[in-house]
Amino acid sequence: MDNDFPLREEEIDGYVKIDRYNPEKVNRIATHYTDILEALGEDPTRNGLLKTPERVAKALQFLTHGYDLDAAKILKGAMFEEEYSQMVVVKDIEVFSLCEHHLLPFFGKAHIAYIPNGHIVGLSKIPRVVDIFARRLQVQERLTNEIRDCIQDTLKPIGVAVVIECKHLCMAMRGVQKQNSVTTTSAFTGEFARERTRNEFLRLITASLD
């Protein structure tokens, strides 16, 4: 992806807010949305819709900004040598993504674990990795595998486990009558192939703190 436009990244309490709009892209996408509004029988010149094509164009750029970020690089920048060799679990990570078939949102939670093999990673970087792959056009299955592979290839741990649970608006809103169904996907490597380890992970992500 082109990277020749300014990046404003703001880190607030470990969360990164990115405002990055390529004016050329905004114009190009907005022009098409004006057309789409007309095709839908709307009047793009009425007050409420005047700025809609531009807003949609900016929103879409934000929702797909993961293309411009390198998840492996971010993990590598926060790796530390450490002899800890128990399971590290980060659960209830918020996921917001767009399904590539309908460009409608799917959203929910990701739960991730790894067993270090000499290296640990700053904990806030795990949700970051989720976000970088989620902020693209996705299918939940590929999102799950991409997160697993990125952590496996970078940290080279003894094992990685990823479980993602999401609601898909393309199912809920399009009259499929599955408004409340949740899709669960999972991907494991190494030690998590063993049933005992996998069960411990699943127990930990379903346990509540209170």
Helix (H) or strand (E) holding 35: helix 23-39
Report residue 3 as tokens.
């990277």
- Position 167 contacts Zn ion (CB under 5 A): no
Give residue number: closest CB to Zn ion: 170
What is the secondary structure of 150-177 as a DSSP string? HHHHHH--SEEEEEEEEEEHHHHTTT-S
Q: Which is nearer to Zn ion, 102 or 119 (CB)?
A: 102
Binding status of residue 172 toward Zn ion by CB under 5 A: no
Is 32 known to be catalytic?
no
The minimum distance between CB 101 and Zn ion, in angstroms, equals 4
CA distance 95 to 81: 29
99/134 with CB nearer Zn ion = 99
Q: Which stretch binds Zn ion (CB under 5 A): 14-22, 78-86, 95-103, 123-131?
A: 95-103
The token pair that represents 154 in the structure block = 């970078």
- Active site includes 99? yes
Applying CB under 5 A, which of residues 101, 174, 178, 194 lies at the interface with Zn ion? 101
- C-alpha 98/C-alpha 83 separation (Å) is 38
Q: Does 99 bind Zn ion (CB under 5 A)?
A: yes
Nearer to Zn ion, 170 or 202 (CB): 170
CB atoms within 10 A of CB 28: 11
3-class secondary-structure state, position 142: helix
Q: Which residues are at the interface with Zn ion (CB under 5 A)?
A: 99, 101-102, 170
Catalytic machinery residues: 99-102, 140, 168, 170
